[in-house]
Amino acid sequence: MLQLKNDHYEIGGLDVRQICEDFGSPLYIYDTAKMEAQYKRLQKAFKGSKLKINYACKALSNINVLRFFQQLGAGLDTVSIQEVELGLRAGFAAEEIIYTPNGVSMAEIEKAVAHGVRINIDNLSILEQFGAKYGNSYPVCIRMNPHIMAGGHSKISVGHIDSKFGISIHQRRHLERLVQSLNLNVEGVHMHTGSDILDVDTFLVGAQLLFDVARDFPDLKYLDFGSGFKVPYKADDIATNVEELGQKMTGMFKEFCAEYGRELEIEFEPGKFLVSESGTFCCQVNGLKQTTATVFAQVDTGMNHLIRPMFYDAYHHIENISNPKADPRVYTVVGYICETDTFANDRQIAEVRQGDILAFRNAGAYCFTMANNYNSRYKPAEVLVHKGKAHLITRRQNLEDLLHNQVEMEWPQK
């Protein structure tokens, strides 16, 4: 992750300015050392339980990142058939992949079954269709909606009463009858309430609800508690205390398993927790523009590359890696898209000059994966820093990439 050492910024021991010179701007840079540290931190927090960590592919889906987590021993959490196939290509065994779609057709679920991955269904109608086709011949996990309002923003809260995700806990009787009538083989129960959850008690309340639902199913192999761990975005920011959570939830889980009659696997599906802090997004200052009230720092990127500040009001701390020891001044950092793509308002940053490189922290999760080609701009390159070397893992796009899937018509001559 980005660190200031001897008056210059490094990632994995490498000078960030040099990485940008080597690979150009704008540029996403990821540090595998931070990914591994977060993975091991979670393992340690839940030491003593039968733990499975399924990396949430949607956070950062580059195949090299997937292979790295596969080598660490992780499973994979997927939400589309394309992510399933990407995971298989990355080397995950089918049984290491859990597929948790929302609002997809039965045809897509059938494709996932053909691949042999674990299936997690959050819709009674789809579950009924699944049971009619497969009966008890193919195991299934059931995603519940615990009706808990949690998360750092309304758009990333997915377990509340009006959410499109999950089967309501108030539909348990209907669910139980459906499972019995179709003789479904229910191997797991799942929930996920949202992202950026700070309060450990939110997880514990959800766990108690999931334990209660799990008692309805005698042949479970695992309980999946989703994720949503909050990571720090500022130097003095607070985050989910996963060590406290691990201590408390492990005790609760062991008590439940003793009552249930056998040890089950406890599963989580972190994405942001594993990769957010590993990522840095670098861009160059095109120019400075001063109005009557504001100094704009105009950069060579925009909402097409990093949409989270505009979409979620997300905060990304910004460092001037070209001028780190300068006195701070107040800037509004804006992009080059023909929209109001403001990254930061009235932000204190070390004095910015034209040509300086700015670095956005916490750019590992839901950043490049949400990038697009709006304004016909190219997507940036991605670099993975691993064991002291910078590896290009996605090349920068060019015009041919924009036109690759377009079909040019043959226009009739006048």
At 222, list the tokens.
């695992």
| Amino acid identity at 380 | P
Residue 228 marked in a binding site: yes
| The one catalytic residue among 57, 282, 283, 338 | 338
Q: Are 256 and 214 in contact (CB under 8 A)?
A: yes
Q: Tell me the C-alpha distance between 18 and 388, whole Å.
A: 13
Q: Are 230 and 15 in contact (CB under 8 A)?
A: no
Residue 312 marked in a binding site: yes
Using the structure block, give the residue that is written with the tokens 């905060």: 315
At 196, list the tokens.
């950026």
262: left (phi over 0), alpha (psi -120 to 50) or beta: beta
Q: How many CB atoms lie within 10 A of CB 102?
A: 17
Residue 263 marked in a binding site: no
Q: Tell me the C-alpha distance between 26 and 242, whole Å.
A: 33
Q: Are 295 and 331 in contact (CB under 8 A)?
A: yes
Residue 366 marked in a binding site: yes
Task: Reply yes or no on whether 338 is catalytic.
Answer: yes
Q: Are 326 and 288 in contact (CB under 8 A)?
A: no
Residue 265 marked in a binding site: no
Q: Tell me the C-alpha distance between 34 and 57, whole Å.
A: 17
CA distances from 225 to 203, 263, 323, 390 (A): 8, 16, 44, 35
Q: Tell me the C-alpha distance between 205 and 226, whole Å.
A: 13
Q: Tell me the C-alpha distance between 214 and 10, whole Å.
A: 47
- Residues in the annotated binding site for pyridoxal 5'-phosphate: 228, 366
Catalytic residues: 338
- Residues in the annotated binding site: 228, 308, 312, 339, 366
- Residues in the annotated binding site for substrate: 308, 312, 339, 366
